[in-house]
Structure 1
């Protein structure tokens, strides 16, 4: 919440002011300028008014369909209500306002002491959003009330062209006389006409629920999240809140079926803050559907930026690999380098590495690799990594020293005052280290991106990572969740989940949805299969100078035009049958314009060009649940497209075979390396080499190419001999490709490496991971050989790691698990190092059991993710069958990823 720039008026009524001369710099003018923000002068205050009454707050010179608020005091019981109108239509019927503290009930028996009005006028610039430069004009009236025993309450009501908002201001001095204020509840509510159409999402603290249509009265009993959208005639009202920080808790709406009242309920039973306390703004964005959708009211109500120099804050598209391999992809340096290479090839400035990277040791290497290619790396973090000052003091400087650009912080999952205090702390500290922020598992934007402009986006949405967002849900979000701030929906996940809209409609989400970071969730293969999509995503920005809603209805469709500089970008998505969509172009200026449309064709996405004027309507054939994307630029002689040049590097790949192998001392390994230029060649001065451990011999030529065009590759073949006296264990053979790009930013020599992991086995030892299983069962996905359990798919785990120690051989399992191998009496001992794998981040709890022919030979008791590895060494002489079992540690099976590290049988 703001730092209360407004003048706080308590106590006795104010006398009406005498008229002030317009002569410059009178003493009174200087005093007023010091007291009132942005030079806004208060209108004359009105003295106490006995009994009941009603007062209207509106903008000066408001249009006939302008927005107004009416405050009414009941003459009998002293209750206060607030209503809102747009022109002659009552949008919000009278609903109670008031608040209860631990010392006073300020919901009734209220007497108006004074009221004063002023104009609020501001200009500010955003780093993200639907409109970068903003102008604020509001009328604010302060109603100063006294209650029983002289308790004081100020009600501030603001009216703008696009809605109304109100908040309470309370003086300090609670029951403990400390100056603190303890709020027990608000009486605040919004009263909609019973028949009003509604689009509502059930409340959860991460706001990850689908919006569904209803009526204001017909919606089921329950709690609903902000923002909630209602339609009254031709007018829409979007209910939400603004300016929430650690001095308060966030709220939600509680509804009882049969009526149109939506009452405000706080996330905490009580809220305590230092006085004077200004609560969040209870906000209703009101207007036509276009007016509501284009509104910036939530940001307009928020405090000004707390970052003076924002030059380091740069929004942009992000390559996000999570939905192309989940945690396994995050633990793979090669996979993350692949996404860096893709970003560098298409001019994207960022790559995001999600949950899983913290079990690796290569992050500084990846960040350096990306930096040399003009790409910056964003890192995922669990909020508990940063929930204390000591943790932030260690973590933030460390990742900043590596060169990370910012953080995706996840799993806050709370709207409590305590969590908002954490938001205050982490935003202050990340800003100090110039780290950009993306919040997932987070609260809703409530003006946070104005106050903290390094917040690029927030999730707070049932997004693409759910894998099954219905088309009706997709087409409701532009009019609900995305109105109030950047929304990290993570579009373009073609390789994941159930497709509910067409390819062109999915592409259109890059325009329809606003997000400072657009975390594109596709796989490299999915992008390359759609070249017109790749081309469009190279051009589309993530921040906008101007936004226009062209057409649409919640749940049915949405078509937007958004401008950056002198180009407009079009995006349309629909829910329904195939047809032809007409989009008016009257937002364009005079003259002729070139439009390039990307739409669904019979064999994939197609691009079409046409020349238009502002008088035309653009007609585009659309598929079922389809849409289109487009770019509009000024037509000019010789211009055949709207694309701008893209700074890019060649998209390359380096593969090696085998990726890993087991050998005996005194034998050899054949290694093949292949460097390919996939797109945007050529690569120049290309070479391939292999590096082996000291004492290992390498034979074969190191190939070189002076120029390697797109579609060509360079191959190297080597034989690596393992010495007779080689130490047992894992070793790396490193294949290195070096090359240059003709493009300016890649003029330096670039390098990429891939490893062949070679495990030298000792004689007389068989590793369990190399033997056939007589039987197996696993609690999550398959049993993994020489990998951690990972996720549900085979071979999606990482290196076996227990408390920072890696193991080349072993089994990765998940409780409850059982692996059976036949011994046939051939072995004498079984040994292993067992524990919970580091990939679960210190969570989990399991117990290990070793059985031979049904007889228990060893048990570990419960081991957790914080315990070191436990060694098992048992005699299996004469045993026919070995059973390795992992059971739940008694706290459920969540995160029970268990490792039989180095599990082996000795003859």
Structure 2
């Protein structure tokens, strides 16, 4: 029988009462927690074979992070990104408001570096974030075949940057080769068994890590006076390395801000070592006419002749004569030339009119040798004094300046670089910076920068064989390095028992002006070294890592414009024979090795098929040099 409406109402009421009564008698159950929202992630993929950048926001606090994978394996764990300014915190409580992508394809040429011609292909993604208060920040990310980079863009003024949240978190098993930080970037690199084993402290922004996903070199690019140079900070036992601007000082900001690139050069060891990623990230050249920019080897007279040579026209003429005989295009006159005779800290007030430098320049030109000179940076701080020095040197015919003792990466000092770079370009003066920052893309934007120190070079006394074998994978990856090799007469060099190893450094280390630091007497006592150095080209068309292990060994081949390959190798440890793959190309090659023999340097020819290995003997903590050219029947030498 159908239930009438009134009866249905009574039944429902009784059921409701019964359920309520039952619920009241049951023990209370805790409400099931809501499942946490998954991390929101976005991938950035580059050309085929590139690493993948993964940008994410933590749903718990809205903090952004960036990770890097290659071939499904971890290069960089999710690592904090973000900034904190005086007026806004861009390290947490962020919301993504948009994303845009584009492809970057460029070709450019540079007079210095691992190669003259460069091809760039990257994917760029701009992630637009907003804080709860409406402040905006863009995270600009780029991915290329050899690296991942990011930078911050603040479209509005939010005051000075108080700190960066940026950090690099590596897998716990990552093996670092890292250098403690100092203002001149000259401390040695040390290899550790794991990232967590690195002592607490500050470290240079040029640290190499071996990870399960390949090698990763932390670097920086496009640093100007709008920001300060940065270094890494580390807490003992942690696999994370934070990023901190100079001296942890606030970065002064007025208006919009675009920070330098934070970069991870990554791939196998060859990819990292041969990479030009930090140059590729930098702005295009600001020098239109580059015809006056000419790299090449130079005879550097500081270690060869000391202070006395710096104040002697006759001594400098003898060095010019020796450079001319070797066909070296430059001679570099170091400190002393503008001081009062016999004094080393007093500038001659009549240096413009009572100076022998114009005579030396004339003497050199007659013999095909151009002159470069040393200057203390303090002479170039005041705009009026700067113009006086640079215009005078240009009028005399000096071709380059070696500027020394900046010894800072503060925002103020980086602003000075912004002033000196266009000023030297205006006066057609090539530049070698000493006591300086490291390249960070500067040589693409300002191609008249031939080289920078930022390394404990040949004149220092604290180098080790391990340091020689670390530099090709760290400092020299990111730009020209003025190590000043070739000082055979120096008793303090770490490979003092291997003249062949010292000779190999002139190729192993790339520098737009390769300042050769030996004495004429030391070269004459080593005719095979002299013969090799006489053939050094003015630049390189291609660079290849043949074999190596960071901090233990390195063998590099560099192709000259005439098609010949110059090879340099260094090894830390016991004497041994090493097998070096000749990855020079197809065909048959004549390889002339220069090694250490019982009575001096020994040159020996070898005929090798491309891709085959050549066995080379090296002495303890030594190395070798070699020259390779295409072989044909009857050819016994690679001499040009």
Normalised TM-score (structure 2): 0.89
The structure-2 alpha-carbon separation of the partners of 1:234 and 1:86, relative to structure 1 and needing over 3 Å to count, comes to: closer
CA distance in structure 1 between the partners assigned to 2:387 and 2:164 by the alignment: 37
CA distance in structure 1 between the partners assigned to 2:191 and 2:524 by the alignment: 37
User: Is the 2:57–2:65 contact (alpha carbons within 8 Å) kept by the matching residues of 1?
Assistant: yes
Higher helix share: 2
User: Is the 2:458–2:493 contact (alpha carbons within 8 Å) kept by the matching residues of 1?
Assistant: no
- Select which of 602, 607, 610 maps to 1:614: 610
- Select which of 288, 309, 318 maps to 1:308: 288
User: Is the 2:157–2:257 contact (alpha carbons within 8 Å) kept by the matching residues of 1?
Assistant: no
Q: Which residue of 2 aligns with 1:252?
A: 231
Residue correspondence of structure 1 range 595-674 to structure 2 within 5 A: 595-644=591-640
CA distance in structure 2 between the partners assigned to 1:531 and 1:462 by the alignment: 28
CA distance in structure 1 between the partners assigned to 2:156 and 2:91 by the alignment: 18
- Select which of 191, 194, 212 maps to 2:172: 194
CA distance in structure 2 between the partners assigned to 1:59 and 1:212 by the alignment: 32
CA distance in structure 2 between the partners assigned to 1:353 and 1:579 by the alignment: 40
Residue correspondence of structure 1 range 511-526 to structure 2 within 5 A: 511-526=507-522
User: Is the 1:467–1:497 contact (alpha carbons within 8 Å) kept by the matching residues of 2?
Assistant: no
SS in 1 for 2:303: coil
Deviation at 1:424, TM superposition (A): 1.0
Deviation at 1:126, TM superposition (A): 0.8
User: Is the 1:51–1:111 contact (alpha carbons within 8 Å) kept by the matching residues of 2?
Assistant: no
Q: Indicate yes or no: 2:135 matched with 1:156.
A: no
Deviation at 1:246, TM superposition (A): 1.2
CA distance in structure 2 between the partners assigned to 1:471 and 1:570 by the alignment: 18
Q: Which residue of 2 aligns with 1:80?
A: 64
User: Is the 1:79–1:107 contact (alpha carbons within 8 Å) kept by the matching residues of 2?
Assistant: yes
- Select which of 157, 160, 169 maps to 1:173: 157
Residue correspondence of structure 1 range 216-231 to structure 2 within 5 A: 216-231=195-210
Which runs of no fewer than 5 residues in structure 2 stay unpaired?
A: 1-36, 342-354
Higher strand share: 1
Q: Indicate yes or no: 2:414 matched with 1:420.
A: yes
Q: Indicate yes or no: 2:558 matched with 1:574.
A: no
Normalised TM-score (structure 1): 0.63
| Structure with more relative contact order (C-alpha pairs < 8 Å, separation 6 or more) | 2
Q: Which residue of 1 aligns with 2:490?
A: 496
Q: Which residue of 1 aligns with 2:390?
A: 396
Deviation at 1:77, TM superposition (A): 0.8
Which digits, 9 at most, give the CA deviation of each residue in 1:153-177, with x for residues without a partner? 0001111111100000001334xxx
Which runs of no fewer than 5 residues in structure 1 stay unpaired?
A: 1-49, 175-180, 645-907
Which digits, 9 at most, give the CA deviation of each residue in 1:836-871, with x for residues without a partner? xxxxxxxxxxxxxxxxxxxxxxxxxxxxxxxxxxxx
SS in 2 for 1:312: coil
Residue correspondence of structure 1 range 339-418 to structure 2 within 5 A: 339-359=319-339, 361-418=355-412
User: Is the 2:99–2:127 contact (alpha carbons within 8 Å) kept by the matching residues of 1?
Assistant: yes
Q: Indicate yes or no: 2:73 matched with 1:89.
A: yes
Q: Which residue of 2 aligns with 1:298?
A: 278
Which digits, 9 at most, give the CA deviation of each residue in 1:161-209, with x for residues without a partner? 11100000001334xxxxxx52121110000122211111110111010
Deviation at 1:51, TM superposition (A): 9.2
CA distance in structure 1 between the partners assigned to 2:634 and 2:170 by the alignment: 56
- Select which of 49, 59, 65 maps to 2:46: 59
Deviation at 1:583, TM superposition (A): 1.1
CA distance in structure 1 between the partners assigned to 2:403 and 2:392 by the alignment: 16
Residue correspondence of structure 1 range 684-699 to structure 2 within 5 A: none
User: Is the 1:515–1:542 contact (alpha carbons within 8 Å) kept by the matching residues of 2?
Assistant: no
Deviation at 1:213, TM superposition (A): 1.2
User: Is the 1:461–1:487 contact (alpha carbons within 8 Å) kept by the matching residues of 2?
Assistant: yes
User: Is the 2:76–2:169 contact (alpha carbons within 8 Å) kept by the matching residues of 1?
Assistant: yes
Q: Which residue of 1 aligns with 2:22?
A: none
Deviation at 1:251, TM superposition (A): 0.4
The structure-2 alpha-carbon separation of the partners of 1:472 and 1:508, relative to structure 1 and needing over 3 Å to count, comes to: same
CA distance in structure 2 between the partners assigned to 1:494 and 1:134 by the alignment: 35
SS in 2 for 1:397: helix
Q: Which residue of 2 aligns with 1:242?
A: 221
* Structure 1, 310-319 or 332-341: larger mean CA deviation: 332-341
SS in 2 for 1:298: helix
CA distance in structure 1 between the partners assigned to 2:38 and 2:466 by the alignment: 50
